[in-house]
A and B are shown apart, each in its own frame.
Chain A
Amino acid sequence: GQNIDQPTEMTATEGAIVQINCTYQTSGFNGLFWYQQHAGEAPTFLSYNVLDGLEEKGRFSSFLSRSKGYSYLLLKELQMKDSASYLCAVRAGANNLFFGTGTRLTVIP
């Protein structure tokens, strides 16, 4: 089976940096995804890691360590619009994607 853990809630200040961690245990690991989901909306793709290391996309970066079963999403220069849920998802096998429960991030002024 799949086991994906991430913090339930986090709060950070506008302009700051926040790191959202995700640990996982899975068989047939085939990539890790991060999604952003605003309330009432569908998830939006942020990043995809299949190899160890850091992937950077503007203000968002994602890191993966397969040996540790660990990933993090780093958000820089936080903006109020970044308040959302951030979902860590692991692909096992061909294309089945399994989601964590999500981290609700609140950005405060």
Chain B
Amino acid sequence: SAVISQKPSRDICQRGTSLTIQCQVDSQVTMMFWYRQQPGQSLTLIATANQGSEATYESGFVIDKFPISRPNLTFSTLTVSNMSPEDSSIYLCSVATGAGELFFGEGSRLTVL
């Protein structure tokens, strides 16, 4: 398994501001992913964070709204830009191991007022 640390664990933000969420893994991993879980919903994949190249976004998510960095094999950030109350959600970082298993960080609970 992998140990994944996310911060902040939670935050309350004002409409129109931006927040960057950090994800740190205790080992080098090739694939890192960012998910969103809105209240009462299941998880939705936002994007795949690729090391050394631009992230790959899923339908409905764009780079301007959710810029992602992946400077090395153990770290990634997700920024939620120009936030609105609809962005209130839990944002989760996940990594895939060589065995194909996928593990999640503890999540960052974001509330936008």
Contact B42 A95 (CB under 8 A): no
Contact pick for A101, options B41, B92, B103, B104, CB 8 Å:
B41
Closest A residue to B56 by CB, please name it: A96
Q: How many A-B residue pairs have CB under 8 A?
A: 53
A contacts with B: majority SS: strand
Please report the C-alpha to C-alpha distance between residue A94 and residue B58 in the assembled complex, in whole angstroms.
Answer: 14
Q: Which residues of B contact A91 (CB under 8 A)?
A: 100, 102
Contact A98 B1 (CB under 8 A): no
Tell me how far the C-beta of B53 lies from the nearest C-beta in chain A, rounded to whole angstroms. 14
Tell me how far the C-beta of B63 lies from the nearest C-beta in chain A, rounded to whole angstroms. 17
Tell me how far the C-beta of B9 lies from the nearest C-beta in chain A, rounded to whole angstroms. 10
Please report the C-alpha to C-alpha distance between residue A13 and residue B87 in the assembled complex, in whole angstroms.
Answer: 38
Beyond A45-B101, A45-B102, A48-B100, whether A96 also contacts B43 by CB under 8 A is no
B residues with CB within 8 A of A: 1, 31, 33, 41-45, 48, 58, 90, 92, 94, 96, 99-107
Closest 10 CB pairs of A and B: A99-B43, A99-B42, A42-B104, A42-B107, A95-B31, A101-B42, A42-B106, A102-B42, A95-B96, A43-B104
A residues with CB within 8 A of B: 31, 33, 35, 41-45, 48, 50, 87, 89, 91, 94-102
